[in-house]
Amino acid sequence: MIETGTILQLRKLSKSFGGNRVIADLDLTIEKARVTSLVGPNGAGKTTLFDLVTGFLVPEAGQVVLRGREITGMAPHRIAQEGIVRTFQGLRLFRSLTVLENVLLAVESDPGASTPSARRDLAQAALERAGVAELAGVRAADLSFAEQKFVSLARAIAKPADLMLLDEPAAGLDGPSLGRFHQIIRALVDDGRTVLLIEHNLDIVRRISDSVAFLDNGRLLAHGSPEEIFAIEELAALYFGDEAVL
């Protein structure tokens, strides 16, 4: 049963490490062609959730349903081929390869798709969208921090996947870069892609998101528009209260 406009459904997802319940009975629905932000205090389980969705972790219970198809427990590379792309907090660029090579790999994982020159064009287009086209020949290991973040984004853009899971893509960026980031994300969504991002910068969250999901201790506490979520006082207390966050 597919609800119109839903691209990803998480049903009763659970995961423990040792005796520790890291994700508990989580239900979440992600709407197509929107930006959804995942927020919550450190250790709430946000990256773990990404790992569960993209196959790097297998849930003990529950289902991950992508466009009506169950993908729970599939291998990460298979899930990626189903049309999900993700980035990592630690970026994980291929350091000995150039920026162009990093992005080409995103396009080339599906060899049957198109011709080498078409793939090169896709890579080039992604580099331009992320504003890093002039860095194409630079080795990833030689990039500055901000440049690395945008190359990581370019790599995700290049992959022809309509669901993008971005893990703290804007963390550490300065004012102008944040603006540039905001524009890129909105342009992607206008093109029909869905963006789910983990973000700590609440300013960005407020400005960029169509909806916000608040996680704590592996549970979904609230899911709604940014205005609704930020109005809830208990959540603010949880977020800023018991630990020096950000």
Residues near other proteins (CB under 8 A) are: 54, 56, 75-77, 80-81, 85-86, 88, 92-97, 101-102, 104-106, 108-111, 155, 159
CA 11 to CA 34: how far, in whole Å? 20
Q: Least separation, in Å, of the C-beta of 218 and other proteins?
A: 22
CB 106 to other proteins: min, Å: 5
Residue 163: DSSP 8-state: E
Give buried/exposed letters for 230-240 (b at 16+ CB in 10 A, else e): beeeebeebbe
| CB-nearer residue toward other proteins: 29 or 81 | 81
Q: Closest approach of Cβ 131 to other proteins, in Å? A: 21
Q: Amino acid identity, residue 196?
A: L
Nearest residue (CB) to other proteins, 15 versus 159: 159
Q: What type of residue sits at position 59?
A: P
Nearest in space to 197 (alpha carbons), one of 178, 157, 228, 170: 170
| Shortest Å, Cβ 81 to other proteins | 5
Nearer to other proteins, 95 or 207 (CB): 95
Is 81 or 177 the residue whose CB approaches other proteins more closely? 81
User: CB neighbours (10 Å) of residue 139?
Assistant: 16
Smallest gap from residue 50 Cβ to other proteins (A): 10
Tell me the C-alpha to C-alpha distance, in Å, between residue 179 and each of 3, 102, 134, 183, 203.
Answer: 33, 24, 19, 6, 11
Smaller CB separation from other proteins, 61 or 97: 97
